[in-house]
Amino acid sequence: MLHLQPKKLPGVVESSLILLLVIGIISYFIIKIQTVPHIPILIGILLMVTYGMLKKVSFQDLQHGMVQGAQTGMGAVLLFFLIGILIASWMASGTIPVLMDAAFYLAGGPWFLAIAFAVTAIVGVALGSSFTTAATVGVAFIGAAQTMDLPLAMTAGAVVSGAFFGDKMSPLSDTTNLASTVVKVDLFDHIKNMSWTTIPAFILSALAFIILSPGQQVSPEQLAGFQNGLTEAGVIHWSSWIPLLILVVMAVSKRPAFISLAVSSLAAILLAGFRGIMEWSALWSTWFNGYTAETSNDAVNELLTRGGMNDMLFTIALVILALALGGLFFKTGVIPSILASVQSGLKSARSATLSTALTAIGINLAIGEQYLSILLTGEAYQDIYEKAGLARKNLSRTLEDAGTVINPLVPWSVCGVFLSDVLGVPVLDYLPFAFFCLLCPVLTIIFGFTGKTLTMQTEEKQKATS
């Protein structure tokens, strides 16, 4: 959206007030009135159109800004459609039910929340996708928590924490590759440098989840009813693991996420058809309407009945509206003005790190898009880090610590809306328990203030020549 800047930027005070007004309205509607996020974001769009026209920006230019903003999210929109298809296909083939069944066996031991966090973290690193991890393994742990009467908010917090650990540290992750690419840092140097903040955040989160986990071991009787319901659904089979294996193999071989999800979904639906789970016409219909379970266990039916493109329309509509609002913020010069003013006077490692983190968080709050948070903040601060004598991998690390992992904590963001929809837990409910996502920006700011783990340009050059 950098190309959407107007010829003349408004004053920084004016831009800040406009931005705070829109964010305040969105927050009030979601938190106080408890409306769906679409309504306040649409109101925000109308306010920004009015502001733009008062600033003598033509409606055609404003409309162009909205269209260009929404266009940046079309890749995510297509991916959302495929994730809806993937969930429905994996339900029909028994892939998600068999993952649930495996999760129940793991949940039969102590420290349920810590296990959910660790398992989703491992899967997240393997797949490189927080969305796919949450929509598959995450759903399995949510189902286990429902059955055992455990707090869903805590379970969702553990799932989100683990999924975004994987998204942050996996070389297959889009955000990890974007953060390293935008500031021209080697991918594996970037991942290695992130471990200074990510590993402590992981350990502290695991300890917190151990403490919060049920003190007693969950008895098998508590899980028997649900496991019997899964068996009754008639979808669990040894071949149910095949779609998951296909997805993992394609991810490891660095195939695009779109292709990987499509091939895995197609394999799942073909397996379900050849196994006679449903008639072929009904199976293909699940791609749009989702899978519907029919067992004698209402809890199982509620959990397994999901997926399909139709189920993702809520998320897709919100993504388009949020990105259109982001386009207006740039076309009217609100965000470019704030970024330009922030760049002046940042000369120390302390000020550069703090400002980078706050900017990444602020863009997440204003636009609700982690990719733009990484891209815009990275482009805005490269020169500042050069002047401060800091190696660029410090910038790429801060981009992920305050950009990638903050997005799922914003109710109107792409990740927040998707996760709350898939897991069935509102963002504000799981936010206090998403320890990993909360700790990463805190640790990166602390290290920025103390100078610990920061690499100077001279040190980096010495290592490169040695």
Burial class (CB in 10 A: 0-12, 13-18, 19+), 359: buried
Cβ proximity of 160 and 408 under 8 Å: yes
Give 306's strand partners: 291
> Quick check: 350 pLDDT over 80?
no
Cβ proximity of 331 and 57 under 8 Å: yes
DSSP 349-406: HHHHHHHHHHHHHHHHHHH--HHHHHHHHHHHHHHHHHHTTB-HHHHHHHHIIIIITT
> Quick check: 180 pLDDT over 50?
yes
State the pLDDT at residue 164. Answer: 94
Number of folded domains that form the chain: 1
Band the pLDDT of 462: cuts 50, 70, 90. very low
Q: Could you tell me if residue 319 is inside a domain?
A: no
Q: Could you tell me if residue 53 is inside a domain?
A: no
> DSSP secondary-structure letter at 55?
T
Of residues 4 and 122, more confidence is placed in 122
Cβ proximity of 423 and 131 under 8 Å: no
Q: Phi and psi (nearest 5°) for 248? A: -65, -45
Copy the structure tokens of residue 224. 């028997």
Overall average pLDDT of the 346-357 stretch: 78
Contacts 24+ apart (CB under 8 A), 359-365: 360/398, 360/399, 360/402, 360/403, 360/406, 361/402, 361/403, 361/406, 361/441, 362/338, 363/335, 363/403, 364/403, 364/406, 364/407, 364/410, 364/413, 365/23, 365/410
State the pLDDT at residue 187. Answer: 77
d(CA 85, CA 149): 29
Q: Look at the alpha carbons of 271, 80, 87, 158 in this order and tell me if their dihedral is positive or negative.
A: positive
d(CA 307, CA 83): 8
pTM comes to 0.71
Q: Could you tell me if residue 163 is inside a domain?
A: yes
State the pLDDT at residue 324. Answer: 86
pLDDT tens for residues 65-117? 899 888 877 777 887 788 889 888 988 998 888 877 776 676 666 788 898 89
Lowest mean pLDDT among 7-21, 290-304, 448-462: 448-462
Q: Could you tell me if residue 109 is inside a domain?
A: yes
Q: Could you tell me if residue 243 is inside a domain?
A: yes
Q: Could you tell me if residue 410 is inside a domain?
A: no
Band the pLDDT of 121: cuts 50, 70, 90. confident
> Quick check: 301 pLDDT over 60?
yes
- Domain of 82 in residue numbering reads as 75-305
d(CA 286, CA 278): 10
State the pLDDT at residue 460. Answer: 54
d(CA 457, CA 8): 35
> Quick check: 218 pLDDT over 60?
no
pLDDT tens for residues 400-447? 999 889 999 998 887 898 899 889 899 999 999 999 999 999 999 888
Of residues 332 and 387, more confidence is placed in 332
d(CA 27, CA 39): 11
Overall average pLDDT of the 354-359 stretch: 87
Q: Could you tell me if residue 414 is inside a domain?
A: no
Cβ proximity of 98 and 276 under 8 Å: no
State the pLDDT at residue 287. Answer: 92
d(CA 219, CA 50): 60
Overall average pLDDT of the 125-138 stretch: 78
278: helix, coil or strand?
coil
> Quick check: 346 pLDDT over 80?
no
State the pLDDT at residue 209. Answer: 94
Q: Could you tell me if residue 69 is inside a domain?
A: no
Half-sphere exposure of 185 (CA within 13 A, CB side): 30
Copy the structure tokens of residue 89. 């296909």
Reduced 3-state DSSP string for 120-141: HHHHHHHHCCHHHHHHHHHHHH
Query: Residues near 342 by Cβ (< 8 Å), separated by ≥ 6?
Result: 355, 359, 380
State the pLDDT at residue 463. Answer: 53
In Å, how far are 162, 247, 260, 337 from 126, measured between CA atoms? 12, 10, 13, 40
Query: Residues near 449 by Cβ (< 8 Å), separated by ≥ 6?
Result: 350, 353, 354
Of residues 49 and 466, more confidence is placed in 49
Cβ proximity of 149 and 188 under 8 Å: no
Q: Tell me what percent of the residues of the chain surpass a pLDDT of 70.
A: 89
Q: Tell me what percent of the residues of the chain surpass a pLDDT of 90.
A: 23
State the pLDDT at residue 140. Answer: 78
pLDDT tens for residues 374-385? 877 776 787 778
- E strand or H helix at 309, and its extent? none
d(CA 201, CA 197): 6
Query: Residues near 386 by Cβ (< 8 Å), separated by ≥ 6?
Result: 457
- What region does 10 belong to: left with phi over 0, alpha with psi -120 to 50, or beta? beta
The mean predicted confidence, pLDDT, of the chain is 83
